[in-house]
Structure 1
Amino acid sequence: MNHDSSRELYDRALSSIPGGVNSSVRAIRPYPFFIERGDGGHVIDADGNRYLDFVNGYGPLLYGHDLPQPVQSAVQSTVSEGPMYGAPTEIEVDLAEFVSRHVPSVEMIRFVNSGTEATVSAIRLARGYTGRDKIVVMQGGYHGAQESTLVEGEDGHVHPSSPGIPEEFAQHTIPVPFNDVDAVQDVFAAHGDEIAAVLTEPILGNTGIVHPVEGYHETLRDLTEDHDALLIFDEVITGFRVGGLQCAQGKFGVTPDVTTFGKIVGGGFPVGAIGGKAEIIEQFTPAGEVFQSGTFSGHPVTMAAGYESLKYAAENDVYEHVNALGEQLREGLTEIVADRAPSYTVAGTDSMFKVLFTREGPDSTEGQCEAGCRQRPDCPRYDHCPKNGADVADCEDERWERLFWPAMKEQGIFLTVNQYESQFVSYAHTEEDVETLLSAYEEAL
């Protein structure tokens, strides 16, 4: 493939944008290819190269790059009426009512502008509501670029994971390993009356794809209720992707006190949201005293795109289509991995997928999960499948990034560049696209 135009664009970008990119994950070595446009389930770069796209904007694009006609029409008509107003609009009420009707935890919702802003606001809300300071998070979980969660270590030995964050900030955050019941029970035994909330993704989605072991979320629910703390689900990735319109909390049958959203709830436009019990969400100003505000919050174009996208999904076979393709894809990957790289782990659910380059596997894979790891204790892979962020960090990321990813790109497949970010199927993809992807995996592995 020729990448001369992308190389020239990257050379220009290095002079005006730090690292040449506006999000660090886009810093592909030796340089990223620059996208010119999308086309259904594909993207075309600045040099005219065409790729099957399974990144989908890192999750927001449930429909790929061809929005359904009602969504396109809503976006175009809303833009034509004016960019924004600094005043409420009916469409934000429509979207709020839709989310409240479908997501188990949501009685009220506040819209913001990004997943990061949503989790920042949710943490402030939890602290304001409970009058406590400490937040329990999962090691390897990702909740955006914010001071309260960019923290490493374990209880009593924590520090910021980025320069620019005061050490004192980290002292209020307690990281625990995902899926470790004993660890979180010990933390509550030691700090129960100081903990404002537990913040977790229902599925680790930005550190590989890691399912909860049976009973883990139920344990978090019981512990938070027993100690008058809040349970916050970060559904920025899983929201309206896993579990359909009920989101992952509906799929797992565990209802948090507060849920954060992003990505799909805005129909592919910048968005975030904090939903939950009315008595909690009403603590936000102006109803309560926990300050939260934003010039672009509830932006009419985003609200129109989000509302029409979710309404279209409710009225059509969107989730049936993408989930069936996801199942087909993970089943095919499981067969390929068993033959080509038996130590590797296929992960994912619904329309999410990933092959984790785990270093060890069982002697036999007979009876293993057929379409992505489910943390099933009787699966022969159970002791080898990643259970937390540290397990994913032990995977062969350099092999993925330096050998596998370029080999897939040369076959016209666009995947996330490392072991950590999830990959996604869209409504624009077809069974033929899945077979093309599987053939590329077979060749690259």
Structure 2
Amino acid sequence: MTASFGSDCSYRLYDRALKSLVGGVNSPVRADPRPTPAFVDHGDGAHVVDVDDNRYLDYIMGYGPLLLGHDLPDRVREAITKAVADGPMYGIPTDIEIELAEFVIDHVESVDRLRFVNSGTEATAAAVRLARGYTGRDKIVVMRGGYHGGHESFLVEGTAADRKPSSAGVPETFADETIPVPFNDEAAVREAFERHGSDIAAVLTEPLLGNHGIVHPVGGYHESLRNLCDDYGSLLIFDEVITGFRVGGLECAQGKYDIEPDLTTFAKIIGGGFPVGAIGGRAGIMQAFTPTGEVFESGTFNGHPVTMAAGLETLRFAKKHDVYTHVNELGERIRAGLQDIVEDHAPEYTVAGTDSMFKVLFTRSGSEATTDNCTAGCKQQLDCPRFERCPKTGADVETGETDRWKRTFWPAMAERDVLLTPNQFESQFISYAHTAADIDRTLETYQRVLSQSG
């Protein structure tokens, strides 16, 4: 067992950071856990080592971008090194941005054209602007509990009938144009279209809620969104910032669920660990961006050559070396093991995830054990005895034991060298660097912690 997460050197660094960085961090989620976060010294395969020389088996993986783990394969590292040596950036087109665009287009059925940007927030903001410009409409339907970055159009909470900004600094007028509905609630989306259909530019949704506990779509939900958008002349936007090139492999989650959105936003894995975002879609829609259309989008660092090289070689490596088979088999292994542990020690909890994503949700509904459950985690199957219990919306996850996860369970796992995302909501990720032995050790740790606290 290591020392408490975030010990001597981390304490000193955090105290120093508080004097120069707002809250001592550059993203609020990094302020957890308390009293101080740990500061990482370096990554090593499937592990991170902090400045106090504590070594953790890492399932944060940069919140998703590190499909290959912390040690980049030689070919990926060489491509990045060459790009840096050639010149860090130019503000002028390079061939590498074409090659990455061609790779994405070759593998994602719905994408004919791309525009690279620098973050998931930039991508979703630009996609919504494009949808508004293309349709001539203003309103956007979003999923409550979905996360699309820190743009004013998405920092809205409440119901379709009673909504308001979720952050100071966001004008009320933005909430007027954003309609939040519960994920998996077809009736709520249909009602929104019946009230506002002629004003709705787009529906923006993650294929599965990946930043609010991992909530899977109920069968037919995506199809209902596709049909409503077609009926009312609105665009369907899939936010694949998290799921893109992780869920569904090279075809992404839209391939896994067999739905073609009009626009898709990407980030994380397509940058190979470097800052990136992208919007992709049909040529007729994408051409509405400047310089071929009237919807403005621009950026000094768009198509940054180092990022493009990292993303392209990461995806090429994943394709050539069958990375998805490896990570998905490990994902199945850990979810199946977690399902057994939960049934024995915390039957009210829910195992969620797919492919290389996983999470135990500290749900409260129903404490008795059941049989014939979905294997390897919730799949929203109607014939599963847990179907009614499994979270269908972000609100269902919020009603769980979120404080218990953060205050007692997470620290107990970290003290045993297993590093999970520090709250109940963000997904955990498996990388190509993880091994079956890592998974088995992780399951032993879950077993020990849940059996002691259950």
Query: Shorter-chain TM-score: which interval?
Result: over 0.9
Measured after TM superposition, the shift of residue 364 of structure 1 is 3.8
- Which letter maps to 1:218? E
Q: How far, CA to CA, are the matches of 1:188 and 1:177 in structure 2?
A: 14
In the alignment, what sits opposite 2:199?
194
1:31 to 28, 36, 39: 36
Partner of 1:18: 22
Aligned 8 A contact 1:133 1:195 in 2: yes
Between the aligned partners of 1:378 and 1:289, the Cα distance in structure 2 is: 50
Structure 2 partner of 1:254: 259
Q: Using the alignment, how far apart are the partners of 2:369 and 2:35 within structure 1?
A: 38
Task: Return the alpha-carbon distance in structure 2 between the equivalents of residues 203 and 411 of structure 1.
Answer: 30
Residue 437 (str. 1) matches residue 442 (str. 2)? yes
Figure out how many residues of one structure are paired with residues of the other and give that number.
Answer: 445
Give the AA of the match of 1:12: R
Q: Which of 7, 11, 27 is the matching residue for 2:11?
A: 7
Structure 1 CA distance for aligned equivalents of residues 363 and 50 of structure 2: 32
Asked whether the equivalents of residues 364 and 400 of structure 2 are also in contact (C-alpha less than 8 Å), the reply is yes
Q: Kindly state the Cα deviation for residue 361 of structure 1 after the two structures are TM-superposed.
A: 2.6
1:312-361 deviations in Å (ceiling 9; x for gaps): 11111200000000000000000000011110000000000000000023
Contact 1:239 1:248 in 2 (8 A): yes
CA distance in 2, matches of 1:32, 1:373: 31
| Residue number among 268, 271, 275 corresponding to 2:276 in the alignment | 271
2:411 corresponding residue in structure 1: 406
Q: How does 1:186-335 map to 2 (within 5 A)?
A: 186-335=191-340
In 2, Cα distance between equivalents of 1:441 and 1:83: 44
Q: Deviations over 1:132-165 (max 9, x none)?
A: 0000000000000110011011123110000000
Shift of the alpha carbon at 1:362?
A: 6.2
Q: Secondary structure at the match of 2:19?
A: helix
Matches within 5 A, 1:416-431: 416-431=421-436
The one-letter code sitting in structure 2 at the alignment partner of 1:5 is C
- Equivalent residue number for residue 135 of structure 1: 140
Q: Which amino acid aligns with 2:174?
A: F
Amino acid at match of 1:6: S
Which AA in structure 1 matches 2:27? Answer: S
Partner of residue 374, structure 1: 379
Aligned counterparts, 1:18-167, within 5 A: 18-28=22-32, 29-167=34-172
- Give the SS at the match of 1:165: coil
Counterpart Cα distance in 1 of 2:407 and 2:166: 25
CA offsets per residue over residues 23-71 of structure 1, 9 Å max, x none? 1111111110000000000000000000000000000000110111111
C-alpha distance in 2 between matches for 1:154 and 1:360: 23
For structure 1, the residue ranges without an aligned partner over 5 or more in a row are none
Instruction: Kindly state the Cα deviation for residue 102 of structure 1 after the two structures are TM-superposed.
Output: 0.3
How far did 1:248 drift? 0.1
What whole-Å deviation, never above 9, does each CA across 1:280-331 have from its counterpart, x for those lacking one?
1111111111000000010000000000111111111200000000000000
Runs of 5+ unmatched residues, structure 2: none
CA-atom RMSD, angstroms?
A: 0.7
Are 2:343 and 2:369, in contact at CA under 8 Å, matched by a contact in 1? no
Q: In 2, are the aligned partners of 1:344 and 1:358 still within 8 Å (CA)?
A: yes
1:149-208 deviation digits (Å, cap 9, x = unpaired): 110111231100000000111100000000001110111111110000000000000000
SS at match of 1:441: helix
The answer to whether structure 1 residue 397 and structure 2 residue 396 are counterparts is no
Name the CA distance, whole Å, in 2 between partners of 1:123 and 1:302: 24
Superimposed CA distance per residue, residues 400-445 of structure 1 (whole angstroms, 9 cap, x where no aligned partner): 0000000000000111011100000000000000011101111111
Distance across 2 between alignment mates of 1:395 and 1:350: 24
CA contact (8 A) 2:348 2:368 kept: no
Contact 1:362 1:381 in 2 (8 A): no
The question of whether the paired residues in 2 share the 8 Å contact of 1:364 and 1:380 is answered with no
Counterpart of 1:425 in structure 2: which amino acid? I
Shift of 1:365: 2.1
Q: Taking structure 2 as the reference length, what is the TM-score of the superposition?
A: 0.97
Answer whether contact 1:75 1:304 (CA < 8 A) is retained.
Answer: yes
- Trace 1:169-188 onto structure 2 (pairs within 5 A): 169-188=174-193
Match of 1:337 among 328, 335, 342: 342
Quote the sequence identity (%): 65
Distance 1:361 1:68 in 2: 46
AA matched with 2:282: K
For residues 294 and 443 of structure 1, the distance between their equivalents in structure 2, rounded to whole angstroms, comes to 49
Contact map agreement 1:362 1:384 (CA 8 A) in 2 = no
Query: How far 1:363 sits from its partner (Å)?
Result: 3.5
Q: CA deviation at 1:104?
A: 1.4
Q: What secondary structure is seen at the aligned counterpart in 1 of 2:260?
A: coil
SS in 2 for 1:16: coil
Q: TM-score, normalised by structure 1?
A: 0.99
Q: Is the 8 A contact 2:142 2:178 kept in 1?
A: yes
Give the aligned residue type for 1:407: A
